[in-house]
Amino acid sequence: MPGDGWDTAERVAVLDGPTTGIGSTMSTVGSSVESAVEDIGAGHGPAWLDAWIEDNAHRVVAWRRHIHAHPELSRAEHRTTAFLSDRLARAGLNPKLLPVGTGLICDIGPDTAERTVALRADIDALPLTEATGLPYSSTVDGVAHACGHDAHTTILLGAASALAEAPELPGRVRLIFQPAEEVMPGGALDVLNAGGLEGVDSIYGLHCDPRLPVGRIGTRVGPITSASDLIELRLTSPGGHTSRPHLTADLVHALGTVITGLPTLLSRRIDPRTGTVLAWGAVHAGEAANAIPQDGVLTGTLRTGDRDTWAELEPLIHELVHSLLAPLGVGFDLHHRRGVPPVVNDAASTEIMREGITAALGEQALTGTPQSSGGEDFGWYLEHVPGSFARLGVHSNVVRPKDLHQPTFELDERALLVGVRAMVGTALRALEN
């Protein structure tokens, strides 16, 4: 329909939605636009929000399918940024490009407002090859939105468009479309360096959770994700013949000592209630069965749910590695790359978010959620202002859920409108305080 502000890509994404599911499951997730735009929270929110969703639900689904089909890796989200900038401008807003070249900050409401609340979404994709078989699957080889960032982005774009049409706002809402969440230490630092939280009183965000059914949102006071660091340990030895290990330093034996010994020692030096976990992901040394190699590399991740423990881990890991390797005669170089802090939800902000979700969706939408060992750079924001991070249910009861970061990950698109309602409700409630 000419003149209605829709791109061809958006219209095709809506009209050509999938009619079957993945493989033999015959999933109905996203099987039609009609099922995808079911408004689970209708009647709970303000009347103007109900009206906006009724008029724009199809467009929200189209945005998500377009973004999903055109994923971009961290710090390369140029087309995604341009797409968002255009839609925000059509809504009468004035988005600002981050200095790093991708990502946007956009305010709704007067600069003189007494309170400012921030809403954040991450816009980058993963280096994975999608295997969902959906008609709007990734069109980019080796890149896919397998973590739900396309949904996060769409939800915030929908919330922005709805808030832009609100009769009045009791303050200012700052929209943060953040790049590079999937790389450490995360694009949240780009936002902070650009002054993205200047004048902000609190910040809120959502992340897809395939363990929760659509229509439910999990909240938690305190840590909801963990700090996540990378460890690379490089060992060196003169090398030698495996028949005479006593004449050299047995590097492979030393690697094995660290692989089994370091997690054990760590568990005796760190309070287990902190949820500190060291897990190895890769090890490489040598080529020949009868030759002791001269070098080897061991890499893994170190996670903790406690902010104070995170600050203590780097010197402790170095101490423990030294104690394990000193008797073995091998040299080592330990590179401890600090990643992101844990996301620790403020009690007052979490209560505000719960109240906003209840107002927008009803009490049945709320549920609890456990702490995750996964990392999330939203924690950097909470180092500066209070806020809360929640989990958005995206699991359809029709199919067995696929986990995040799997090539087959897919979500129930009804969660998009649930997310829009939740973010709008949270922003309105936060501005009232």
Residue 405 labeled ligand binder: yes
What does the DSSP 8-state code read for residue 40?
A: T
CA 244/CA 280 separation, integer angstroms: 29
The letter for the amino acid at 294 is: Q
Tokens found for residue 129: 């090859």
The letter for the amino acid at 134 is: L
183-208 exposure pattern, b = at least 16 Cβ within 10 A, e = fewer: ebbbbbbbbbebebbeebbbbbbbbb
| One-character DSSP codes across 196-244 | TTTT--EEEEEEEEEEEETT-EEE-SEESS-EEEEEEEEEE---EETT-
Neighbours of 112 (CB within 10 A): 6
Helix orientation angle between 414-432 and 149-163, rounded to the nearest 10 degrees: 50
Helix orientation angle between 414-432 and 47-69, rounded to the nearest 10 degrees: 130
Q: What does DSSP say about strands 202-213 and 217-219: parallel, antiparallel, or unpaired? A: unpaired
Taking CA atoms, 222 is separated from 216, 230, 309, 349, 369, in Å, by 20, 24, 15, 11, 11
Tokens found for residue 280: 């190895």
Residue 149 labeled ligand binder: yes
CA-based angle 97:98:99, to the nearest 5?
115
Residue 182 labeled ligand binder: yes
Question: What Rg, from alpha-carbon coordinates, does the chain have?
Answer: 24
- Nearest by Cα to 348 from 396, 385, 380, 399: 385
| One-character DSSP codes across 317-372 | HHHHHHHHHGGGT-EEEEEEEEEE---EE-HHHHHHHHHHHHHHH-GGGEEE----
Q: What does DSSP say about strands 366-368 and 217-219: parallel, antiparallel, or unpaired? A: parallel
Residue 207 labeled ligand binder: yes
Annotated binding site, which residues?
147, 149, 182, 207, 405
Annotated binding site for Mn(2+), which residues?
147, 149, 182, 207, 405
